[in-house]
Structure 1
Amino acid sequence: MTMSELTDKELLIEYFSNIGQQRVDELTMFFWQTFPTLADFKMAKNDVKRDLLDFDHQYYELLVGIELGQRIAHKPRPLIGKIYCSQQIGVELIEQLRNDVQECLILFCLDVKHQIIFQQMVFKGTLSTCPVHPREIFAVALEHHAESILVAHNHPSGSVTPSQNDILFSKRLDQCGELMGIELLDSFIIGDGNYLSLREADLFESN
């Protein structure tokens, strides 16, 4: 049986068992009493998570492991190669951003052949906001001699319905790109298992 086949409760028991804990039942029971599901742990405030340490210092190793796993999961996987269509990059971005509880924005710089030459998470915001200004976007694009750019941000709510700010921001990027000679190819919103291309939806065309 692989780790992916274990239930959440079985996986936690396996963790404590393999680090030689004699109080496996006690430690696992307290964890599930505090966080009935892993989703509850994910959404809990940091001070609530730190309460585990007040119960037993052995939870420190568990929290370190969880933090490391979260950082690995949230690291953007560089997209390489040529961009052919919105669906191609939209599907890839779903895997990168769908589980992030903070809103973040990724910039892709492309060359004249639409090859991705640089990728960077430009901003990471609070639970529901991601303040960003076009000048920071185009500063990175100019630094890497981009011919065009793509931007993508996630909605932690899981919905891909664009807000008015999403549309206005994309329009501003589009207009700035026209003035600077750096085309905005598309702006994506990533949800839970879905994405929206604002270009395909004709939501940020400069009129």
Structure 2
Amino acid sequence: MAATAEKNLKKQLIASNVFNNRIRTTNFTELSTQELIELSFNLKPSKAAELLENIDTLADLRNGLTEFPPTMEFQFKASFELSKRILQFDVKKEKITSSYGLAQQLIQETRDLEQEHFILLTLNTKNQIIRRRTLFIGTLNQNIAHPRDIFREAIRDNAAQIIIAHNHPSGDPTPSEADSIFTSRLTKICELIGIQMLDHLILGESTYYSYAEN
């Protein structure tokens, strides 16, 4: 019994040393999501794997970050990388169920921005996000989005559907004439190339405008 316990302890120490050496010599973006969870919450690999397996929503993982001590260098770096992935829906494929839910999340992220940010979300046939990216950052009241760049990224992701969104720094989500012309143009191109455009969201300070809902 004692020999078995000693053997298991040696295995754990070897695994721990290998992991510790790896995190000190590698880029944090190269670590797996499980390894980032291990660092962020100071968990054993088995517990980190269990936590990852039982995550149902992005909020479950985000809520766990409240216990993270920011003074520890490696934990901070791991949590920072993990939080970026949470915002980018990288832990699990987030399913879009409504324009309202997506708009509320995006409003929280863009409400204090002083320039227009144009966001593209590519989705599969199940309405799950493949990737989300900010394609353009414009002036105070004008973005520089171009359909060519939007569809290049959508085709690269092999997307079946897209959602686009941009904020109005003024806080008023009322669409401009240019917004409507751009949306109409983009919708027609989508029909031609076989990618469905689910919505164009305009984000204000606390409200939004959805072309799909209107």
Fold shared, TM-score > 0.5 on shorter chain? yes
Which one of 152, 158, 182 corresponds to residue 169 of structure 1? 182
Structure 1 unaligned segments of length 5 or more: list them: 1-74, 202-207
3-state secondary structure, aligned to 1:121: strand
Corresponding residue number in structure 2 for 1:47: none
List aligned pairs for 1:52-71, cutoff 5 A.
none
Which one of 83, 92, 107 corresponds to residue 96 of structure 2? 83
List aligned pairs for 1:21-100, cutoff 5 A.
77-79=87-89, 80-100=93-113
Corresponding residue number in structure 2 for 1:51: none
More helix by share: 2
Distance in 2, Cα, partners of 1:140 & 1:126: 22
List aligned pairs for 1:1-207, cutoff 5 A.
77-79=87-89, 80-201=93-214
Q: Is the 8 A contact 1:77 1:96 kept in 2?
A: no
RMSD, aligned α-carbons: 1.7
Distance in 2, Cα, partners of 1:87 & 1:131: 25
Moved over 3 A (4+): none
Distance in 1, Cα, partners of 2:164 & 2:127: 14
Cα shift readout 1:63-106 (whole Å, capped 9, x = no counterpart): xxxxxxxxxxxx89224511111111111111111110001100
Aligned length: 128
Distance in 1, Cα, partners of 2:133 & 2:88: 9
Distance in 2, Cα, partners of 1:163 & 1:129: 10
